[in-house]
Amino acid sequence: MNRIFEKLTRHLAKNPRRLFLIDSVGALLTAVLLCGVLSNLSPYIGMPKTTLNLLFSIAACFCFYSAACFLFLKAKWALYIRLISFANLLYCALTIAFLFIHYNKLTILDLMYFLAETAIICLLLYIELTVSGKILNKR
């Protein structure tokens, strides 16, 4: 597993644009799931619709940020990767805070979705920080 992770991060350090593409697609998927699926299922899930809309708005902003970096960024990859990493970390913290705030209303579907999403984002966050470190160490 370590060998696969090392190979992946080495590849992404050589091609940091791809990391922004992965982040953008992930944020788009999150936004679609929050707005298109969970928001429409709000009578059956416990997370309030206003909370879902807030998380959707944040995910949409992250999608645009990462897409803009993918399309237009030419230098200072590590800085912009670290910015989206920090933003992803704050998103995870906010999501976990909402899980605690609304815990009594949540269904098992809510918990499964938001914990899985947070775990995936944390994995991406770890990859992003590792890649930005490798980019900085090349200099």
pLDDT tens digits for 27-83? Answer: 999 999 999 888 788 778 889 999 999 999 999 999 999 999 999 999 999 999 999
Indicate if the alpha-carbon torsion angle 40, 36, 102, 117 is positive or negative. positive
* Total number of domains constituting the chain: 1
Has residue 88 been placed in a domain?
yes
**What's the rounded Cα separation, in Å, for the pair 18 and 115?**
25
Of residues 63 and 5, more confidently modeled: 63
Has residue 87 been placed in a domain?
yes
**What's the rounded Cα separation, in Å, for the pair 3 and 7?**
6
Residue at token pair 């775990």: 119
**What's the rounded Cα separation, in Å, for the pair 46 and 21?**
32
pLDDT of residue 36: 87
Has residue 8 been placed in a domain?
no
**What's the rounded Cα separation, in Å, for the pair 80 and 82?**
5
Give percent of the chain above pLDDT 90: 84
**What's the rounded Cα separation, in Å, for the pair 61 and 82?**
16
pLDDT of residue 131: 96
pLDDT of residue 19: 96
Of residues 43 and 124, more confidently modeled: 124
- pTM of the prediction? 0.92
Element (H, E) at 62: helix 49-72
In this model, does residue 107 exceed pLDDT 70? yes
- Please provide the average confidence, as pLDDT, over all residues in the chain: 94
- Report which DSSP code applies to 108: H
Has residue 45 been placed in a domain?
yes
pLDDT of residue 104: 95
- At residue 20, the 3 state secondary structure works out as helix
pLDDT of residue 63: 98
Range of the domain at 132: 17-138
Has residue 11 been placed in a domain?
no
Record the tokens describing residue 101, joined without a space: 């705030």
95 pLDDT band (50/70/90 cuts)? very high
